[in-house]
A and B are shown apart, each in its own frame.
Chain A
């Protein structure tokens, strides 16, 4: 294997990146190859330099900014309710249909007829509907993932504000659309 590599079988960029990252477990024949291959040596040097540049500290704010931020955090947590396991389970209980409803609402919004054709060009209406639907879907997806993560203790808590946003969007649907969503919910076995 070593002899094949040294005859000019260059490592791929990914192999080289793996070796620079973890020399101990990277391809064992790369050091021998680098001894005679200048282009690969150059690539490896650039990979190391890029890695070193990323490791530099970014432009850091002043200590005063961090102190002010700490004060804001401590002020905020005094107002922030703590969430225990029991309450979380209850939250997930209502969150599942809510997320599903929002996802279905997004589909309804994308597919519904354009009622404001006279006011706006069809493509504008379609684009707006799609943007709204994407927003709802993103919120729903976010909520569902948050809940799933929270259930495994590693995730952030559910945002009540965003739940309210989903409900607001749902309320904007026509009665027929809301009914369609509810029917879909009954039919669908929504699984996080």
Chain B
């Protein structure tokens, strides 16, 4: 393990070095069954209950490719603007590890199903960065090990390990970028934006739930530094275990500072695997391998080649949903909002929510206003994600409707929303339970106005004498009497009316 080094200040790093990145993302597909057998893929089942001779690697068992996984891979490839390989084989990647039942991983090696695409990202300031996609290929996941004894489930110092193969054989798509040069100080931001955009894209395809927290999307970040203007490529490290969007950004930033420190000290960057620690935000070196890896790839003899026809590819292309950038453009047109506004919505994680609220009948202006201001504040106060607030877009739309119809004032509406968030029921239930409806019964209001005028005859006299601004005192009294549930504008009209009558 290398000793902790003093990181070089980020601005200093980018002043003297050019970072070059490469990002590999593994996505677990949400197919019903595994890549090569009919076992279910559901997360969280009892250990070793979603296994069969094939995914347990029992002697004699043979794989058969899941058509839906291939279709998902092709759709991801098409959405990433890749070419789909007209012919390709699976290969075996040979290495021993207890979580891998066959001691080889069935993967695509030099014949990936999708190659040479790109994904355009829009950064916070509106700059568009094109990330080249080298390849997307299919492979299978490994089982899970539980390390017993020693420190808190860590592999080091464990006494023994327990293996669960439910995850073994779950279909994975690995998406590899081309080298990402010339991002300078924006490298951490670009890395995060790329993983975010990829996540949104794959989510829109409906092929994975892309939950980084559950491991259904995992990122590995390759990074190297080269002295500015040198034109040479530095030695890269690969940082694994980067399991949140924020961590992607932090890992890049940390690794830049660390590598610069090593280089400044006259050291050499070791080509190695590093692990990201969520707690400290640091990367640490993995254990060095005794022998250099030699995966001895060769074509998988138990599976025949995949040769997607042009017709099949076009059929799949036709099933692509509206992709995130297309959707954003359409929404912008429909709602008439600016680039900045749409970006704010996306960054706030509010776009889906606002769209659903609009779909439930609310005008886009009101829907946007609720989600980015009051509800965003509430999410902040309550320390939850916007999407995890206990209110649905339909409920927000109902509140907007109640305000528009005059049944609620904006102030009352906020109280109704508070009630919903506190679990008191639907907006209508909160209105009823808390008695928050605007007092719109004219008779009731007239009685309240008359009572207030009678209580302050001098003020009534002033108004009658033309000092209309004196009506404020009466309106205030009426509002107080109705606990704020009256429409102040209407009260004012009634005061003038009653005095003049």
A joins B in a complex: no
